[in-house]
Structure 1
Amino acid sequence: MATGRTTATFLPPVMEARRWLQGVDFPPNRPLINVSQAAPVDPPPEDLCKVIAEAAINQPEAHLYGPVLGLPELRTEVAKQWNVAYGGTLMPDNIAITSGCNQAFCATIASLCSDHDEVILPTPWYFNHKMWLDMSGITTVPLKTGTDLLPDPIAADALITDKTRAIVLVTPNNPGGVEYPSELVQAFYDLAQRRGIKLVIDETYRDFDARSGAPHNLFQDTDWDTTLIQLYSFSKAFRLTGHRVGAITAATALLSEIEKFLDTVTICPNQLGQIAAVWGMQNLSHWLAGERDEILDRRAAIHDNFHKLEAKGWQLLGCGAYFAYVQHPFAKPSDEVARDLVREAGVLMLPGTMFHPDNEPRASREFRVAFANVDRVQIGELFDRLAQLNWPLAPRVDSA
């Protein structure tokens, strides 16, 4: 029987949820509505697929080991575009390319923390962050959010100890969907700077932020690299999920430490994926703008249809990027409701118990709705199905 570090954490939530589908039939007139996972299911645009195919055929070096920290042309392009977007003065040496954003997080934590160090995560949290901290022997310190799903810097300050190494923020947020205001991000940066810890900001969903302009001004600080580490994913922007391409923006000295981790784990990121990412950044800005418009329309569809559920006691706690985060009205806890939804409503979505510490009361009332792969019509159908449920109700309480 396994007794290693993996036993310190839970099973992958998305894989667990998929097992709930086993043995369940979905009739043609009521197909499954899957809002459990945010990863795009469509392939990249055709022109990008051709770039990948041509590189596979005509660039023999694309099949060999490449630089551990990524192709120079991609690191240069990220630095260039980030400087335009954030008003910074980043250099290519501030950028590392990773095998997806999850690896970016793992490598960052490995470079910052040792056994029994502490990392502060706002709740509800992104479960893979919690899983890696568990498997690394690092203590996760939950930072509770209120009904607005925004973390409080003052509350975070009270949680910092001599073992705290970092605060992690995800904005736009997974699972909550909320976009952290620039002033809030700045307040966390100031806190981390003052307390001598790192602020790790996962901006996987930055391309689908509803706001125009930079979501924060942190890269404009000449000393940003003493405090800030930014994570990013090309998977959502260009539908490159299977190619596993992410990025870290950080101090060059920290990237030298991160290089040790990356060389040991994957040696180098996927070269074909990196070639695709460079070409996408240079040629697909208009296409990506269209993708953003579609996601924003689906976000609007959540708001347009939510009145159907509001009348039944549901509450919309957060909505943005790929996610809505909701409170259900039923007497059963969300992990039980989730299984019932598969059988009785043909709906697969993840319960709040997957995004909170064990025994957190509010988790039993919450759900994440990942709407990136359902269009406006399907969102309407989703809410119609949920509104038709006549299950026993719980006493009405606030989510906070």
Structure 2
Amino acid sequence: MAEFNPLVHRLSPPPIPSVLAWSRAYDGSRGERINLSQAVPGYPTHPDMLKWLGEMAAQQQFTNYGDIEGEPELREAYAAHASDVYGAKLSPANIHVTSGGNQAFMCLIMAIANAGEAVALPMPFYFNHDTTLAMLGISSVPVASDDGFLPDIEAVKNVAASGIRALVLVTPNNPTGAVYPPALLAEIFAICRANDIWLILDETYRDFLPSGTAPHQLLDMPGWEKNLALVYSFSKSYCIPGHRLGAITAGADMVDQVAKVMDNLQICAPRSPQAAVAKAIPALADWRRANNTEIVSRAAAMKDVMTRLPLWEISAIGAYFAYVKHPFRGVKSEVVAEKLARDYGVVCLPGAYFGEGQEDYLRFAFANADAATILKLEERLKDFELPSK
């Protein structure tokens, strides 16, 4: 048998299917399965969004190839929207549309780093960032976080001076939910600029910050485009993860480089969803704000549950995720998560999936479930026991 690429072959299987496989053994004896594994919107797509998707899919023009950088209407609409979000002046030339946030990240990394070079990730990391680097032959350098799961500034300074090509941050964070304050991001960006490295800021969950809060002021800084690229996903805000649509915000030179990568990966992102989202950005603003309020209520329900479970601790929470310390010190997080899924019908991700030193944690993607369902966690976690050794 011919050999596989060892950079891919040595990777573990995709994590979400593995935990869902555990949950299929659950017999339902404790009630409905509570799936807090994958970060997907736990409420339906807006009817108008579905209508526009159908209308655009039926148009002949969208069966042909489109612009590699994205549909002009979407690039214009998103540039205007992002300008309002950040209080900055962006144009369509700053936007490249991709097939989801993961593809946006891969395009950026391929445009920035060569095999054999290094990119820094905060600990714990988003696993797809780590595996993308691994399969491209790019080293992943860990950056320590503080007790609130924010990047440690001294660690950032040290790694930035070590010859890396880029630092990658996710805020609101996946897996912890931690939100990086604007002042911290400004300090980190200044370090990146001083060391002439790229800062890739993944803001997939940006729209679930408190309403009216600018995530940061980095796009106001003169020359930001020389060292900064932002990643965004339409999946969560518009409830269309199956249509795979994301965006990069960067300087025009970076957009040109990403276009070279994209032309070989996919040529262009799906065209009919782009046309539909271009309509939805201005039209569904109130609906998105209402969803933000709903996610806040789900976070409140998660906090409420944990106040009555003294052995379980929320270490960080925000946007879609709670990073929870389980009470079984010395037990692998996979053992705890598998038992929860198989016997208690609670599906979550082991902390070990997010890097070394995370065995004491589980990631609960609470946005997947409504508040009433989240409250059912109390009984199951209170009764949860591991087999005695």
Flag structure 1 segments of 5+ consecutive residues without an equivalent. Answer: 395-400
In the alignment, what sits opposite 1:195?
A: 195
In the alignment, what sits opposite 2:57?
A: 56
Q: Does the 8 Å contact 1:32/1:347 carry over to 2?
A: yes
Q: Does the 8 Å contact 1:335/1:353 carry over to 2?
A: yes
User: Which range moves more in the overlay, 295-304 or 206-215?
Assistant: 206-215
| Cα distance in 2, alignment partners of residues 86 and 111 from structure 1 | 25
**Change in 2 beyond 3 A, CA 1:186/1:393:** farther
Alignment of 1:259-338 (within 5 A): 259-309=259-309, 311=310, 313-331=311-329, 332-338=331-337
In the alignment, what sits opposite 2:26?
A: 24
In the alignment, what sits opposite 2:361?
A: 366
Q: Does the 8 Å contact 1:98/1:248 carry over to 2?
A: yes
Q: Does the 8 Å contact 2:161/2:195 carry over to 1?
A: no
Q: Deviations over 1:262-289 (max 9, x none)?
A: 1111111011110121111020000001
Q: Does the 8 Å contact 2:25/2:342 carry over to 1?
A: no
Q: Give the fraction of aligned pairs with identical amino acids, expressed as a percent.
A: 38
| Cα distance in 2, alignment partners of residues 200 and 280 from structure 1 | 26
**Change in 2 beyond 3 A, CA 1:161/1:281:** same
Q: CA shift at 1:249, angstroms?
A: 0.7
In the alignment, what sits opposite 1:93?
A: 93
Q: Does the 8 Å contact 2:120/2:141 carry over to 1?
A: yes
Q: CA shift at 1:203, angstroms?
A: 0.6
Normalising by structure 1, we get a TM-score of 0.93
| Corresponding letter in the other structure for 1:44 | T
| Cα distance in 2, alignment partners of residues 182 and 76 from structure 1 | 26
Alignment of 1:200-279 (within 5 A): 200-210=200-210, 212-279=212-279
| Cα distance in 2, alignment partners of residues 286 and 231 from structure 1 | 23
Q: Over the residues paired in the alignment, what is the CA RMSD in angstroms? A: 1.7
Q: Are 2:174 and 1:179 equivalent residues in the alignment? A: no
**Change in 2 beyond 3 A, CA 1:34/1:244:** same
| Corresponding letter in the other structure for 2:18 | E
Q: CA shift at 1:372, angstroms?
A: 1.0
| Corresponding letter in the other structure for 1:323 | F
**Change in 2 beyond 3 A, CA 1:22/1:271:** same
Q: Does the 8 Å contact 2:172/2:203 carry over to 1?
A: yes
| Cα distance in 1, alignment partners of residues 248 and 90 from structure 2 | 12
In the alignment, what sits opposite 1:397?
A: none
| Cα distance in 1, alignment partners of residues 90 and 45 from structure 2 | 28
| Corresponding letter in the other structure for 1:387 | K
| Cα distance in 2, alignment partners of residues 234 and 250 from structure 1 | 17
Counterpart secondary structure, 1:336: helix
| Cα distance in 2, alignment partners of residues 148 and 346 from structure 1 | 29
Q: Does the 8 Å contact 2:185/2:216 carry over to 1?
A: yes
| Cα distance in 1, alignment partners of residues 223 and 246 from structure 2 | 24
**Change in 2 beyond 3 A, CA 1:389/1:22:** closer
User: Which range moves more in the overlay, 253-262 or 128-137?
Assistant: 253-262
Flag structure 2 segments of 5+ consecutive residues without an equivalent. Answer: none
Q: Are 2:372 and 1:377 equivalent residues in the alignment? A: yes
| Cα distance in 2, alignment partners of residues 355 and 69 from structure 1 | 31
In the alignment, what sits opposite 2:382?
A: 387
| Corresponding letter in the other structure for 1:277 | V
Q: Does the 8 Å contact 2:122/2:169 carry over to 1?
A: yes
| Corresponding letter in the other structure for 1:37 | Q
| Cα distance in 2, alignment partners of residues 300 and 201 from structure 1 | 27
In the alignment, what sits opposite 1:111?
A: 111
The count of corresponding residues between Structure 1 and Structure 2 is 386
Q: Does the 8 Å contact 2:198/2:227 carry over to 1?
A: yes
Q: CA shift at 1:161, angstroms?
A: 4.7
Q: CA shift at 1:292, angstroms?
A: 0.4
Q: CA shift at 1:210, angstroms?
A: 2.5
Q: Deviations over 1:183-222 (max 9, x none)?
A: 1111111010111001100011011012632110011112
| Cα distance in 2, alignment partners of residues 364 and 305 from structure 1 | 22
Q: Does the 8 Å contact 2:230/2:250 carry over to 1?
A: yes
| Cα distance in 2, alignment partners of residues 8 and 94 from structure 1 | 36
Q: Deviations over 1:56-81 (max 9, x none)?
A: 22x21112111111001111111111
Normalising by structure 2, we get a TM-score of 0.95
| Cα distance in 2, alignment partners of residues 112 and 174 from structure 1 | 22
Counterpart secondary structure, 1:248: strand
**Change in 2 beyond 3 A, CA 1:54/1:211:** closer
User: Which range moves more in the overlay, 272-281 or 191-200?
Assistant: 272-281
